[in-house]
Amino acid sequence: MSKRAKRERESALERRGSRREERSVYLVVCEGETEKRYFDSMRGHPGVRVHTMHVRQAKHPQKERVLRAAREAERDDYTEVWAVFDTDGTDVTVLCDQARRDGIRTAPSTPTFETWLLLHVTDQRAVLMTGAKAEKALKSLLPGWGKGRTRFDDFAPGIQDALERAERLPAGSDPSTDVHRLVRALLRE
């Protein structure tokens, strides 16, 4: 092999190798501690590169604060920025459209993030109406679960079921969630 051919081959291998190292990094801006714990605990899984930003609770509507924090975040280090929030039964179409125009992906859950967790263990189709009812349903199925003890590993065995169930729920209905889109992106890498 000529020196030139050898250099070109080595250069091609270096380029291919460096591409493998380039992995997507996601920023997840969320309103609740449950969401933060779930996504933080995904970091231990192969290929998952996620950073979370928790927006502290305040008197103002949380979803707007989450989107504002996502807009203000330093985005240069991230492939995608996601805003994860509860709809609490309100129409969030306008908020999601605005976020999309700002380059932010959204994953709302109706009524709350616990809907996504429920889908790991049951095909939840009955109306939940409130976050408290979603939590109660989750605790009845997983007696050891608590908001402060949410870990991805506890829900990982049902992840495929949750992804499929979430896709079947009509968007914006109660219950519904778009968290499956974010989780698919995280696990695809």
Give the span between the Cα atoms of 25 and 33, in whole angstroms.
21
Residues forming beta bridges with residue 137, ordered by sequence position: none
What is the pLDDT at residue 22?
Answer: 64
Give the span between the Cα atoms of 17 and 20, in whole angstroms.
5
pLDDT tens column, 114-171: 999 999 999 999 999 999 999 999 999 999 999 889 999 999 999 999 999 999 999 8
Residues forming beta bridges with residue 80, ordered by sequence position: 26
What is the pLDDT at residue 44?
Answer: 84
CATH match of 23-188 with 3.40.50 = yes
SS3 content of the chain, % helix, strand, coil (to 5): 55, 15, 35
pTM of the model: 0.84
**Pairing outcome for strands 80-86 and 176-177:** unpaired
Give the span between the Cα atoms of 33 and 130, in whole angstroms.
17
